Amino acid sequence: MLPPVQAGAQVNVTRKVKGGHEATVGYALRWDKNCGPLAPKIILTVPPDHGSICARDYIGLARRNVVSADQSCVGKRILGLQIIYLARSDYSGHDTVDYVIQFPGVVRNTHAEIEVRPGDDPAAAKPGEENFAPGKAGDIIAACAPLSS
């Protein structure tokens, strides 16, 4: 039997990203007894200073149930959320973001250290024209804008 995830457990991630581009800084994937997705609440605790954060749907492969011994959904594809950091196109340097993922009975804190490099490719918008809303501590992380084709 697997031990339950500790309330308040912290995950630390590091990422490198080019200015004006996205980087995935986390995932939220849990399921019910029928392998249906469970929607988390994702709360921003420390907003980024030089970018923005949002959540986007993705289909993930269930790898391991960490909250119970039931592993019947392992190997199945389940709808989850991908947490995305978008670096300002006119910035290079260090940034951080902290957020909490809340599922029923499970809380996971995440701290992301992000190194933003100058972008070599043209960004989607001109420097400083991006629509950034980094938010404030306590905000629910909003859905990302749709991907452009």
What's at 103, amino acid-wise? F
Domain ranges of the chain: 9-117
What is the pTM assigned to this prediction?
A: 0.80
Residue 66 forms beta bridges with which residues?
Answer: none
The answer to which of 35-44, 66-75, 81-90 has the lowest mean pLDDT is 66-75
Q: Is the pLDDT of residue 2 over 70?
A: no
pLDDT tens across 72-96, in order? 999 999 999 999 999 998 899 999 9
**Beta bridge mates, 6:** none
Tokens of residue 24, six digits: 């995935």
pLDDT reading at 17 higher than 50: yes
pLDDT (0 to 100) of residue 49: 93
Burial of 95 (0-12, 13-18, 19+ CB in 10 A): buried
Q: What is the pLDDT of residue 135?
A: 75
Nearest C-alpha neighbor of 80 from the set 140, 123, 17, 37: 37
Q: Spelled out in words, what is the top-level CATH class assigned to the domain 9-117? A: mainly beta
In the 8-state DSSP scheme, what is residue 15?
E
